[in-house]
Copies of this chain bind each other. A is one copy, B any other.
Amino acid sequence: MEYSTFGRHVAVDTWGVDFELLNNAEWLQSQLVEAAEVCGATVLSVQSQQFEPQGATVLVLLSESHLSIHTYPEKGFAALDCYTCGETVDPQLAIDYLVSILKPKNVYAKKLIRGMGEFQVETPEFQQAQLVK
């Protein structure tokens, strides 16, 4: 059996997110698992780390690659990335779900199309309704 190396890798910085949301590794883990399921990915395992005095990392290992979050609650900042191989799972759906629940004031993002030779770099659009201004 062979699988397609085509992959989409979305990296997103979110700003202006509530401290308490970003400082709860257990809650973030449940939300990343939910996000993976929303985009149709299969979760194989999860690691998470609660940092002191604040901050969290969650890494979700997917059949299709990975989903991650790294948070700086004191800055209202979280860095996400979702990389999925194949055509059937769209990582943007997982990112959109996470943005919808984190409710950042501002978002910066890049999407890399990879696994096909030279990378293509795109800038995903986020609907204004997803952001709390």
Q: Which residues in chain A, 111-133, are within 8 Å of chain B measured between CB atoms?
A: 112, 114-115, 117-119, 121
Instruction: Decide yes or no whether A30 CB sits under 8 A from chain B.
Output: no
Q: Which residues in chain A, 60-90, are within 8 Å of chain B measured between CB atoms?
A: 61, 65-66, 68, 70, 72, 74-75, 77, 79, 81, 83, 85
Copies of this chain present in the complex amount to 2
- Cross-interface CB contact of A119 among B1, B11, B65, cutoff 8 Å: B11
Instruction: Decide yes or no whether A17 CB sits under 8 A from chain B.
Output: no
Which residues of A line the B interface, CB within 8 A?
Answer: 1-3, 5, 7, 9, 11, 13, 44-47, 49, 53, 55, 57, 59, 61, 65-66, 68, 70, 72, 74-75, 77, 79, 81, 83, 85, 108-110, 112, 114-115, 117-119, 121
The 6 tightest CB contacts between A and B, nearest first, are A59-B59, A110-B119, A5-B77, A45-B47, A65-B70, A47-B61
